[in-house]
Structure 1
Amino acid sequence: MSFQGYLKTIKEKTGKGPEEFRRLAEEKGLTENSELKASTKAGDVVTWLKEDYDLGHGHAMAIYALLKGIKNEDSE
């Protein structure tokens, strides 16, 4: 699945896009000033998204990649 495919599926399942997840991560204390905190691990993000949004591991890792800056909304 392409990165865009992941984002589309996440939006369909949760009703939330990348900007909303960035805001929610900030509210959860996982990011600061739109950057992932050094203390935040991939597992922290994955656990949050699995528990609160019922996302699978791959989809949660896609959001982690956005938060970490590895990928952005235009990535394929």
Structure 2
Amino acid sequence: MSYQAYLDAIETKSGKTPRELLELAAARGFGPTTKAGEVVTWLKEDYGIGRGHAMAFHGVLKNGATISDKHVGSAGSHSDPSTELRLDGIAARGTDS
């Protein structure tokens, strides 16, 4: 599963875009230095998000929307099309997934 696919799955389950979740996280006082366990607990309790997906979100909270180019353009299941993750939501992408 690509990094973007993790974020898309979180959006589908929570009904919130990654950007909206980042805003909610900030309102809770969460930021780049927040421990992963706190984020995992919040997403589990409020949205039923599992640990793996919550850790992907924590990565965005901690490091922003830019990811390593390690899997960009690779043929594997972890391949992402770009080093920039889309945080504006699935609907904003329209047909250019």
> TM-score per shorter chain, which class?
0.7 to 0.9
Q: RMSD of the alignment, in Å?
A: 1.5
TM-score when normalising by structure 2: 0.63
Deviation at 1:50, TM superposition (A): 0.7
Larger-gyration structure (1/2): 2
The share of aligned pairs that are identical, in percent, is: 51
Deviation at 1:72, TM superposition (A): 1.5
Match of 2:52 in 1: 58
The runs of at least 4 aligned residues of structure 1 exceeding 2 Å deviation read none
Aligned residue type for 2:8: K
Aligned residue type for 1:2: S
More strand by share: 1
TM-score when normalising by structure 1: 0.79
More helix by share: 1
In structure 2, the gaps of 5 or more residues are: 67-83, 86-97
Aligned residue type for 1:6: Y
Matches within 5 A, 1:38-57: 38=33, 40-57=34-51
Cα deviation, 1:39-59, whole Å, max 9, x if unaligned, reads: x21111111111111000011
